[in-house]
Amino acid sequence: MTPRYFLRRLVTLVATLFAATLVVFSLLSVLPGSPAQVILGTQATPASVKALTQQLGLDHPLWRQYVHWLHGLLTLRLGHSYISQLPIGSQIGRSLAVTGPLIGFGLLVGIVIAVPFGVAAALFRRNAAGAAITSLSQVGIAVPNFIVGLLLILVFAVRLGWLDASGFTPWSQSVWAAFKSLVLPAIALGLVEGALLSRYVRSAVLDVLRSDYLRTARAKGLSRRQALVRHGFRNGAIPVVTVLGLEIPSLIIGAVVIENVFTLPGVGTLLLQAVSNRDLLVVQDVVMLVAVVVLVVNFLVDASYRLLDPRLR
C-alpha cells in the first residue's frame, strides 16, 4: 500500500468523522422537548424554563452551539452535563471502564470458542462430528444474546447462586469482584460471537487446506502440520482479522443489550439514560464515540488487511 493511498484514506477518514459530527448534531437538535422543561418537570413556570434555557446556553444560535461542541470534542474538554452537572469526560471514562473490558472479554470468549470449534469443524468436515459442530454454530448464531444472558442469569445466579445476577463492582474497589461481575455478561456476549466467528475460522482453515501454497510447501518437503503452521496461519488470518474488525459494530450493540440484561453501568446504560433524560450533550458525545470507534476500526482493518495480503499491494 503506497503512502499516497494511505494518506488519501486518512483524509477520507477525517472528512467522514467531520460529516458524522454534523449528522449527529443536526439530528439531535431537532429532537422535540426542551431540555429545560424536561429537567424542571410539570410544575415549572415558563419563566423558570426560560431562565434555565439561558443558563444552559441553549438559546444560542445552533451554529454557535455546534462550534462550541465540536471544539470541546477536539480538545477533549467535554464540559458538564446539563442534567447532572457532572463532568461528561469522567462519566464516559467510567462507563468505558465497564464496556471496554466487557467487549474485550466477550471477544476473547468468542475467539476461545471459535478457534477450536472452527478448526474441528474443518478437520472433521467429512463425518458426523463436523456436521454436528456446523449445526451447533448455526444455532448459536440464531439465539439472541439477551436470551443467552437471561438463561445464564437463571441458571448461574438464581438457581445456583454462583455469581451475581447483576451489578458491577468498580475496578478501583476490587479487581477480582469487577472481573467476576463481567463473567456472565462476557459469556453471553461471546457465545454468539464465537458461533459466528467459528464459521469464518472453518472457511479460513478449509481455504488454507486446499490452497496452492500449502501443496507447494508439502512438495518442498514440509509436513502437513509444518506447512499449515508456517504458511496457512498467516493466510488464514486475513479473513478472520477482517471479520473481527467488521464485527465491532455488532459487538457494541450486543454490549448495550447485555448491559441492560445485567444492569451494568456501561456506555449503553449511559446512552439510554441520557436519551430519556434529554441529556443532549452526553448523547452527542457517546454517539460520536461509537462512530469514531467504528470508523477508526474500519480504517485500521483495511490498512492491516492490505499489509497482510501482498496480493493487494
Partner 1 sequence: MSATAAEVLTRSERPSRRRLHPSAAIGGTIVAAIVLLALVALFWTPYHATIPSDQVLAPMSGHHPFGTDEYGRDVLSRLMAGAKLTLYAGAISVLIAVAGGVPVGLAAAAARGSIVDDLLMRAVDLIYAFPALLAAIVLAAAVGASTTTAMLAIGIASIPVFARVTRAASLQVLGSEYVLAARAYRRSTLAILWRHVLPNIRALLIVQASLLYAIAILAEAGLSYLGLGTPPPAPTWGAMVQDAQQYLGRDPLLVFWPGIFIALAVLGFNLLGDGLRDLLDPRLREQR
Partner 2 sequence: MRTRMKAAVVAVLALAVAVPAAALGFGHVARSHTASGTLVIGSNVAPPTLDPTASPAAAIDEVFDYNVYQHLAQLTPNGGVTPVLATRWSVSNHGRTYTFFIRKGVRFSNGDPLTPADVVFSFKRVIAPKSTYPYKVLMAGINSVRARGWTVVVTLKTRDWSFIYNMAAYSNGVILDPRAVKQMATSPVGTGPFMFKSQVPNYSVDLVRNPYSWNPRTNVDAVTFRYFSNANSENAALQSGQIQVIDNALNPNDIGVFKSSSKYKIVHGPTNGKVQVTINNSSGPLSNVLVRRAITYATNRKAIIQAAQGGYGIPLGSGTVPGDPWYIDMAGRYAYNPAKAKQLLTQAGYPNGFSLTLTLPPYSYATTSGTLVAAELNAVGIKTTIKNIQWPLWLSQVFTNHNFDLTIVDHVEARDIANYANSKYYWQYTGSDAVSKLLTAANAAPTQASSAATYKAIVRKITTDAVNDWLYVPEAVTIAQRGVNGLPQSGRTESFYLGYASFGQAPSAAARAQGYGG
Q: 267-276 and 248-262 helices cross at what angle (nearest 10)?
A: 70
Compute the distance between CA of residue 218 and CA of residue 232 in angstroms, rounded to an integer.
12
From 91, 79, 84, 69, select the one nearest 38 (Cα to Cα): 84
200 binds, among partner 2, partner 1, none (CB under 5 to 8 A by kind): partner 1
Q: Confirm if 263 and 151 have CB atoms less than 8 A apart.
A: no
Q: Which residues contact 14 (CB under 8 A, 6 or more apart)?
A: none
Q: x/- site string to partner 2, residues 5 to 34, per CB under 8 A?
A: --------------------------xxxx
Dihedral sign, CA of 281, 285, 288, 294? negative
Residue with cell 488454507: 208
Q: x/- site string to partner 2, residues 197 to 226, per CB under 8 A?
A: --------------------------xxx-
Kindly state the cell numbers that stand for 210. 486446499
**End-to-end C-alpha distance for the chain, whole angstroms:** 5
Dihedral sign, CA of 57, 63, 68, 69? positive
Q: x/- site string to partner 2, residues 111 to 150, per CB under 8 A?
A: -xx-xxx-xx--x--------------------------x
Q: How far is CA 139 from the centre of its chain?
A: 22
134 binds, among partner 1, partner 2, none (CB under 5 to 8 A by kind): partner 1
290 binds, among partner 2, partner 1, none (CB under 5 to 8 A by kind): partner 1
Where on the chain is the footprint of partner 1 (CB under 8 A)? Answer: 12, 15-16, 19-20, 23, 27-28, 30-32, 125-126, 131, 134, 138-139, 141-147, 150-151, 153-154, 158, 200, 203-204, 206-207, 210, 238-239, 242-243, 246, 249-250, 252-253, 256-257, 260, 271-272, 275-276, 278, 287, 290-291, 294-295, 298, 301-302, 305, 309, 312
Compute the distance between CA of residue 102 and CA of residue 190 in angstroms, rounded to an integer.
10
Cβ closest to partner 2, residue 61 vs residue 161: 161
Binding site for partner 2 (CB under 8 A): 31-35, 37-45, 48, 51-52, 55, 83-86, 91, 94, 109, 112-113, 115-117, 119-120, 123, 150, 153, 156-158, 161-168, 170, 180, 183, 187, 223-225, 260, 262-263, 265, 269-270, 273, 275-279
